[in-house]
Amino acid sequence: MNTVAVLGGGFGGVAAAIELREHLADDGEVVLIDRRDHFAMGFAKLWDLAGIRPIAEGTRSLRNLERKGIDVRQAEITGIDVASHRVQTSAGAVDADALVIALGAPPAAQHRELLTAPGAHDLYDPAALPAMRDDLASITSGRVVVSILGGPFKCPPAPYEAALIVDALLRDRWVRDDVEVVVTTPQPMALPVAGVDASQYVAEHLDGHGVELRPQARVVDVDAASRRVVFADDAPELGYDLLLGVPADTLPQVLADAGLAGPSGWLEPDPHTLRLPGERLVAVGDCTRIPTATAQLPHAGVFAAAQARVAASNIVADLVGGADQRFDGHGYCFLELPGEQVAFVEGDFYADPPNVSLTPADHEQFRRKQAYERDHLAVWFD
């Protein structure tokens, strides 16, 4: 009997566990381990912030996976021995024949620290949502700053979506004329991963809503006493009344401790097979760095899930035979604009240069985004 341990129950882990359960023989075991007991898609946070829908409505219990024959363990993963496929957890050891690593990427500790300043929040932290909503409901003048603090970070369009949500919330309260909205990025343009045209599209939409975009603005500090964002290269500081920061992603410590990081400091699986050096070992999603011609594959759930299906198939091939599957770098991102409109950024991210195009926003694509969530939650958890 084969046992596959899936480390992490986010986008990549859940998609991998479902694929494994379907294709491993009935006597094969799939064990999914996560410290959390639930799953929700990243964009559900911004729908909550925008008042479109509470995050709870898009949240599912990982326990539902047990109905499909997946053994779910809620525990902290504290150690991984890749040679023996033994995983140490706070609830005991799990001995497996193969490992799927999908542990995501926690926010950089130094950025979390900066965001403890008064008036500052981690835009990506669901626990910060109530306070962010309260602050946005009470601000009447001053400046809201949305700052990308470093990279890589999750879902490259999300900070711009957030700036436009802030704009809409302030307009709803008739205070927009008295509150400036600024979004800063250390990158040279809004969405380098999607190319110049998509970046221009974002910039135009921000401009059309009176949101200032400051590219090449690398945050080095947040001065808590004066409520100012401090930038590198002597760029002018930016005072804020409300700061919504996007922390950089980092590699989970347990993966570094297991000796799994490559020269980039990230897991570096084969871009097509998602295999890591070693036997019956694959890695997917935000804990990986997959170089592309211009940068790296975005940290996004759509990619994590697509990689996971391929990676899980390849583990099945290792265990019971069959041909390798290949991830071709094709994927997409939803870029949500106010008024339930979504632009669609899609293409071959592995092409040189990436062959990615943008379909301008419309409501039909918003419905496609809704369907993406609804269909995946149904297949995974119902």
Ligand X SMILES: Cc1cc2nc3c(=O)[nH]c(=O)nc-3n(C[C@H](O)[C@H](O)[C@H](O)COP(=O)(O)OP(=O)(O)OC[C@H]3O[C@@H](n4cnc5c(N)ncnc54)[C@H](O)[C@@H]3O)c2cc1C
Binding residues vs ligand X (CB under 6 A): 8-13, 34-36, 42-43, 45-46, 76-77, 102-104, 124, 154-155, 158, 252, 254, 285-286, 299-302, 304, 333-334
Q: Which is nearer to ligand X, 311 or 333 (CB)?
A: 333
* Residue with smaller CB distance to ligand X, 32 or 228: 32
**What is the number of other CB atoms lying within 10 angstroms of the CB of residue 330?**
15
Identity of the residue, 223 or 346, whose beta carbon is nearer to ligand X in the bound complex: 346
Nearest residue (CB) to ligand X, 10 versus 192: 10
Q: How far is the CB of 164 from ligand X (least distance, A)?
A: 13
Minimum Å gap between C-beta 236 and ligand X is 28
Q: Which C-beta is closer to ligand X: that of 139 or that of 254?
A: 254
Look up residue 43 and give its two tokens. Answer: 């964009």
Taking the complex as a whole, how short is the minimal distance between the CB of residue 25 and ligand X, in angstroms? 25
Output 298-301 pairs: Cβ under 8 A, ≥24 positions apart. 298/152, 298/155, 298/156, 298/193, 298/331, 298/333, 298/349, 299/105, 299/152, 299/153, 299/154, 299/155, 299/249, 300/154, 300/155, 300/156, 300/331, 300/333, 301/10, 301/11, 301/41, 301/42, 301/155
Cα–Cα distance measured from residue 348 to residue 183, given in angstroms and rounded to the nearest whole number: 28
Question: What is the smallest separation between the CB atom of 106 and ligand X, expressed in angstroms?
Answer: 7
Q: Judge contact between 297 and 354, C-beta under 8 A.
A: no
Query: How many CB atoms neighbour CB 118 within 10 A?
Result: 9
Coil vs helix vs strand at 350: coil
- Residue nearest ligand X by beta-carbon distance: 10
Min CB(327)–ligand X separation in Å: 14
State how far the Cα of 268 lies from the Cα of 282, in Å rounded to an integer.
10
| In the complex, least distance from residue 294 CB atom to ligand X, rounded to whole angstroms | 19
Residue 2's identity, in one-letter code, is N
Smaller CB distance to ligand X: residue 201 or 231?
A: 201
